[in-house]
A and B are shown apart, each in its own frame.
Chain A
Amino acid sequence: MTLTAHVPSAVQRRRLAYRRRQTVRSVLVAAASTAVLGTLLVVAVTGAPGWDRVRRSFLDPTIARDALPDVLTGLWLNLRLLVCCAVGALLLGLLVALLRTLRGPVFFPVRALAAGYTYTFRGLPLIIVLYLLTLGVPGLRLAGTPSVLVLGALALIVTYGGYLAEVFRAGIESVHPSQFAAARSLGLTYRQAMRHVILPQAVRRVAPPLLNDVVALQKDVGLVSLAGPIDAVRAAQIATAESFNYTPYIVAGVLFVLLAIPLIAVTDWVTLRAARRAGR
């Protein structure tokens, strides 16, 4: 049997044509309104009485070019720190969340310790943790003390690990207990049920907030420069001090946004996918 292709009726053809015209119209309207708003903004800013002075001190192309190499070197440090700290904090957060969900009296001290950790490090300002680790620990003069950079990364990991642990825990607890009962009644052990049934569902549900925390981490890794290492913002600050011009900050800011765009796009995409999955 061969199926003849469906030929749309006259009514359907008219509907399709109408929808096409509507789409073209919407695009034109959007483009026009964007152009109008953009022009108004440019006119308002460049027409301001102080615009020339602001442009000279914030948007100087020569200074931007001179500052770029140093700022880029700093950004490379940000990037490496981000990757290490994100991986470290995700692993630590997952581990702490799993410890907090353990049941049974044997695990009381472990649970208490994990709970104490999340309470402490979610409450403690990052800067204080950073100073304690990067200035306090080397002060002990122990043999084998890691470099300030490693200590700074550790400070970021323990702080963000506390937030991520709570996100993971919320995910684990959002999976209905009947899933656990079903897994156990198949003979899976506690660990197997967690690993193959509970965690995959939990992580999928909390992927958007987890990634959101990683985006926030991206901005906070720069704080290690308080302890010495030179990140992009610190490099911009040095360049600014040399030239008495704020352009290097703009350079660093633009680079940060460019760096964040892919991460934010991934977050949006994951969120959208999660929403679709839940909606169907």
Chain B
Amino acid sequence: MPPVLTCRGVRKEFGGQPVLADLDLTVAEHEVVALIGASGSGKSTLLRCVNLLEEIDDGVIELDGEDISDPRVDPDRVRRRIGMVFQSYNLFPHLSVLANITLAPRRVHRRDRAEAEAQARDLLARVGLADKADAYPDRLSGGQQQRVAIVRALANSPRLMLLDEITSALDPELVGEVLAMVRDLKADGMTMVLATHEMGFARDVADRVCFLDGGRVIEQGPPEQVLGEPVQPRTRQFLRRIIDAGRL
């Protein structure tokens, strides 16, 4: 069985400046991989490339063994198999929570309304938001909005979830509820790649931590090893700065 996600020699430039250079990354089924690295190291860029929101400048990205960086591949078909959650939630403000969640199932997967809504209510109930189904996003707390955004991505039954700093916009007391949800997803066997600045979160949910620097993964391994006894000097330096900032 091929890995869910394979990146080989991925390169991405912005205005001639390489942000990702010869990056390799493999994610097996049910595996949770945390991407860490300094601000600007390309974590978001990598996730956006995997979701085909950005075109890569070299290399190959495969989803379930299929080359999705091939320009002949229909990006909409690929995105239906990937769920993405953003730092800034990006819920649709003109739609209710329920309509946000059922939009893709109804329009993309052509499910009928009753069925899609039943599934959405079920997912909401599981994360304790059943009573918010008819509310509009601006009436929810940040933590609730982010949980709705995760449910919205889950409603597509994705093969792979990409989470981009999903807790950075939240007040500390709201972070817990979102992290608990990610932990539950992991328990359900969801394959995930998450970019994060929360080392505690990475240590807690990730099977593997990858440290990005200079456009590539320069160190990876189990959280205890990468976060506890890093081998690379760059990783040590990065972690020291994080510790000094009181974030570990």
Count of interface residues, chain A, beta-carbon cutoff 8 Å: 18
Interface 0/1 of B26-53, CB less than 8 Å to A: 0000000000000000000000100101
Closest chain A CB from B84 CB (angstroms): 4
Q: Which B residues lie within 8 Å of A188 (CB)?
A: 76, 103-104, 107-108
Cβ distance B17 to chain A, nearest Cβ, rounded Å: 21
A185 and B53 contacting across the interface, CB-CB below 8 Å: yes
Neighbouring B residues of A181 by C-beta, 8 Å: 48, 53, 86, 90
Cβ–Cβ contact A185 & B108, under 8 A: no
* 8 Å CB contact of A182 from B75, B80, B86: B86
Contact B107 A185 (CB under 8 A): no
A187 and B94: CB pair below 8 A?
A: no
Partner of A179 from the list B77, B80, B92 (CB cut-off 8 Å) is B92
Given contacts A185-B53, A186-B108, A280-B138, contact A179 B90 (CB under 8 A): yes
Cβ contact within 8 Å between A182 and B104: no
**Which of A50-58, A80-88, A192-200 lines the interface with chain B?**
A192-200
* Bound-complex Cα distance A264 to B48 (A): 46
Interface residues on B, range: 20 to 34
A-B CB contacts (within 8 Å), total count: 57
Indicate the member of A178, A187, A189, A196 with the most B CB atoms within 10 Å: A187
| Interface of A: prevailing SS | helix
Is A245 located at the chain interface by the 8 A CB criterion? no
Chain B hits for A186, CB < 8 A: 79, 103-104, 108, 152-153, 156
Task: Provide the residues of chain B in CB contact with A197, threshold 8 Å.
Answer: 92, 103
Flag if A200 contacts B138 (CB, 8 Å): no
Closest-by-CB residue of A relative to B89 is: A182
Residues of A within 8 A of B108 (CB): 186-188, 192
How distant is A280 from chain B, measured CB to nearest CB, in Å?
A: 7
Q: How far is the CA of A188 from the CA of B92 in the complex (A)?
A: 13
A192, A200, A204, A280: which contacts B107 (Cβ < 8 A)? A192
B82 at the interface (CB under 8 A from A): yes
From known contacts A187-B79, A187-B80, A187-B156, infer whether A182 and B107 are also in contact, taking CB-CB under 8 Å: no
Whether B94 lies near A185 (C-beta < 8 A) is: no
Residue among A179, A182, A192 having the largest count of chain B Cβ atoms under 10 Å? A182
Q: Are B104 and A187 in contact, with the CB atoms below 8 A?
A: yes
Q: Is B96 an interface residue (CB 8 A)?
A: no
**Complex: chain A residue closest to B149, CB-CB:** A182
Question: Is B93 in contact with chain A by the CB < 8 A criterion?
Answer: yes
Is B119 among interface residues, defined by CB-CB distance under 8 A? no
Q: Given the complex, which residues of A lie within 8 Å of B90, measured CB to CB?
A: 178-179, 181-182
Interface string of B85-110 (1 = CB under 8 A from A): 01010111110000000011001100
Contact mask for chain B residues 136-169; partner A; CB cutoff 8 A; 1 contact, 0 none: 0010000000000000110010000000000000
Query: A240 on the interface (CB 8 Å rule)?
Result: no
Q: Which residue of A lies closest to B162 (CB)?
A: A185
Q: Does chain B have a CB within 8 A of A184?
A: yes
Q: Does A201 contact B (CB under 8 A)?
A: yes
A86-B103 Cα distance, complex, nearest whole Å:
31
B68 to chain A, nearest CB (A): 13
Instruction: State the Cβ distance, B52 to closest chain A Cβ, in Å.
Output: 9
Q: Bound state CA distance, A187 and B156, in angstroms?
A: 9
Q: Are B53 and A187 in contact (CB under 8 A)?
A: no
In whole Å, how far is A199's beta carbon from the nearest beta carbon of chain B? 10
A200 touches B94 (CB 8 A): yes
Bound CA–CA A184/B108 (angstroms)? 11
Q: Which residues of A contact B153 (CB under 8 A)?
A: 186
Considering the complex, which residues of chain A in the window 168-213 have a beta carbon less than 8 Å from any beta carbon of chain B?
Answer: 178-179, 181-189, 192, 196-197, 200-201, 204
Residue from B77, B82, B104 whose CB has the most chain A CB atoms within 10 Å:
B104
Shortest beta-carbon distance from B117 to chain A in Å: 16
A185–B156 CA distance with the chains assembled, in angstroms = 11
Question: Given A178-B90, A182-B84, A192-B108, 10 more contacts at CB 8 Å?
Answer: A178-B88, A182-B91, A182-B92, A185-B51, A185-B83, A185-B84, A186-B104, A187-B79, A196-B107, A201-B93
Chain A contacts to B: CB under 8 angstroms: 178-179, 181-189, 192, 196-197, 200-201, 204, 280
In the A-B complex, the 10 residue pairs with the smallest Cβ-Cβ separation, listed nearest first, are: A187-B80, A182-B90, A186-B104, A185-B84, A187-B108, A187-B79, A200-B94, A178-B90, A192-B107, A201-B94
